[in-house]
Structure 1
Amino acid sequence: MIVITTPTGLIGHQVLNNLLNSDEPIRVIVRDPSRLSPRERKRVEVVQGSHGDLAVVTKAFTGADSVFWLVPPDPRAESVEAAYVSFSRPACEAFKTQGVQRVVGVSAFGRGSAVSGKAGNVTASLAMDDLIASTGVSYRALALPPFMDNLFRQVESIKNQGMFFDMISGDLKQPTCATRDIATVAARLLLDHTWSGVASCPVLGPEDLSYNDMARIMSEVLGRPVRYQQISDEALKATLTRYGRSEAMVQALVDMMAAYDQGLATAELRTPESTTPTSFRQWCEEVLKPAVVA
């Protein structure tokens, strides 16, 4: 039995789709089952509720061999530790009581970096990894750089202004990955019942690119000029606050971006095993362009 959390989210939905044609029994934890497709509802067992609730995860993990673990975004959390570590505590208790063997979790890389201790969401993700590992389950932390798909948040400015924005230097080259590749790696691990122990599993995409590189590629794919504009931490804070994030979660994201600007995302050496296939150009052609021209 494989249990999937966030089965209607950006990554969890793709993980679930990758597993539907397998022979494995699948159970999902979902707040709103109506968001599942008819095919998904027919194929999976549903446990309704939050995977931050002990009663829900205890029920969901009963008889489970493997769990896909992803902490949902909580932009109004009182602290980044509460959003990641405290949210995961009930599941960690249920991993132990229900005898879960393997967990594949969405995390971040940067462990051991000089700036990882004050990197907001990244620091909290690594603390979550430590908590999960302390339960005794075999654990694979998907160590992830920034996602290509994060650019969806700026589709309107790309479409209408020919611009996108962030705190990071436009010339800093760093890895980026497509969420569909994350889902592919996660599904492969969930279907493999032979691995054990605790390890990081980086997902780095095929190349390191700067935001200026991305702007050039977007311009070529979209057939219109696109440029990157670096903004200050205060400007990012103002934008995030306007969208209703708590002060603590605003600061956590700003701290993460500042750590990226100091090279956090370049800390992991690329290997054949960590290199995933989807290039940024391919992602732009297949995913971003249809969204911009719609």
Structure 2
Amino acid sequence: MNVVTAPTSTIGRQVVQNLLDAGEPVRVVARDPARLAPDVAGRVEVVVGTHRDPAVVAEAFTGAEAVFWLVPADPRATSVDEAYVGFSRPAAEAFQARGVRRVVGISALGRGTPVADRAGLVTGSLAMDDLIAATGVPYRALCMPSFMDNTLRQIAPIKNQGVLYGPIVPGLKAPSVATRDIGAVAARLLRDDSWTGSQEVPVYGPDDLTFDEMAAIISEALGRPVRYQQTPADAYKQNFLGFGYSGAMAQAMLDMAQAKNNGLDNGVSRTPEDSTPTSFRQWCLDVLKEAVDA
């Protein structure tokens, strides 16, 4: 049995679909089962509740061969540690108590870089990985840079202003990754019973691009001019406070962006084995253009 947490999230739903397409049995942990796609709901077991709840994870992980672990965003958390490590403690105990044989988790690039200990959400993710690895359960932490799919949050300014906004230095080359590729890697590892131990698995797309280059690619894919504009640090944090983030989590978003500007995502040497197939250009043609045209 494969257990998938956060099954209605962008990545989680793709993990579920990949496992079902492969004929694998799937159990999901869902706070709101009504959000499951109709063609999925009838093909999976459902444990209702949050995977922060000890009773919920104890039930969900009973008889589980593999678990896909994704901590949902908590913009109102009192601290990054609480958002990631605190959330994951009940699951870490249940991995051991319920005899789970392998766990695949969503994490981030950056371990070993000089800025990893002050990188906001990334620092929390790496501490979560340490917590899970310490249980002794075989663990693969999928370590990603920024998601290509985050661009979908900016459909309005792209359409109405011809501008892509972000906190990253315009000329900094860095990797990115499509969530569909993350879902494919996660499903493959969940189905593979040959690996043991704890290990980080970098997952990124085939090319490193600056945000200026990404804006140019978006322009070509959409057939309209789009430029990149860097958002000042103070304004970037204020945006999150305006969205209802706690002060700690708004600062964590800024800390992560500043760490990326200081090389957080560039600390791992690219290898063919770690690179995924979807380029940013292909993602724009397949996903962004459809969303903008809708």
Could you say which TM-score interval applies, normalised by the shorter chain? over 0.9
Amino acid corresponding to residue 154 of structure 1 in structure 2: Q
Matches within 5 A, 1:1-294: 1-294=1-294
Instruction: Return the offset for 1:291.
Output: 1.0
Instruction: Return the offset for 1:42.
Output: 1.6
- Count of equivalent residues: 294
Instruction: Return the offset for 1:36.
Output: 1.3
Structure 1 residues without counterparts, runs of 5 or longer: none
Instruction: Return the offset for 1:237.
Output: 1.0
* Coordinate RMSD, CA, aligned: 0.7
Amino acid corresponding to residue 284 of structure 1 in structure 2: C
- Report the TM-score, using the length of structure 2 for normalisation: 0.99
- Report the TM-score, using the length of structure 1 for normalisation: 0.99
Deviating above 4 A after TM superposition, structure 1's stretches of 4 or more consecutive aligned residues are none
| Counterpart-to-counterpart distance in 1, 2:117 and 2:33 | 38
Contact kept, 8 Å, 2:19 with 2:25, in 1: the verdict is: no
**Cα-to-partner distance string for 1:89-132 (whole Å, 9 max, x where unaligned):** 00001001101110000000110000101000000000000000
**Cα-to-partner distance string for 1:37-74 (whole Å, 9 max, x where unaligned):** 23212211100000000000000000101000000000
Amino acid corresponding to residue 129 of structure 2 in structure 1: D
Amino acid corresponding to residue 215 of structure 1 in structure 2: A
Contact kept, 8 Å, 2:116 with 2:259, in 1: the verdict is: yes
SS of 1:201 mapped into structure 2 = strand
Instruction: Return the offset for 1:134.
Output: 0.5
Which stretch shifts more, 104-113 or 28-37?
A: 28-37
**Amino-acid identity (%):** 60
SS of 1:169 mapped into structure 2 = coil
| Counterpart-to-counterpart distance in 2, 1:231 and 1:39 | 41
Amino acid corresponding to residue 198 of structure 1 in structure 2: S
Instruction: Return the offset for 1:272.
Output: 1.1
Instruction: Return the offset for 1:282.
Output: 0.4
Structure 2 CA distance for partners of 1:160 and 1:21, relative to 1, 3 Å: same
| Counterpart-to-counterpart distance in 2, 1:215 and 1:164 | 7
Amino acid corresponding to residue 282 of structure 1 in structure 2: Q
Contact kept, 8 Å, 2:241 with 2:247, in 1: the verdict is: yes
| Counterpart-to-counterpart distance in 1, 2:202 and 2:46 | 30
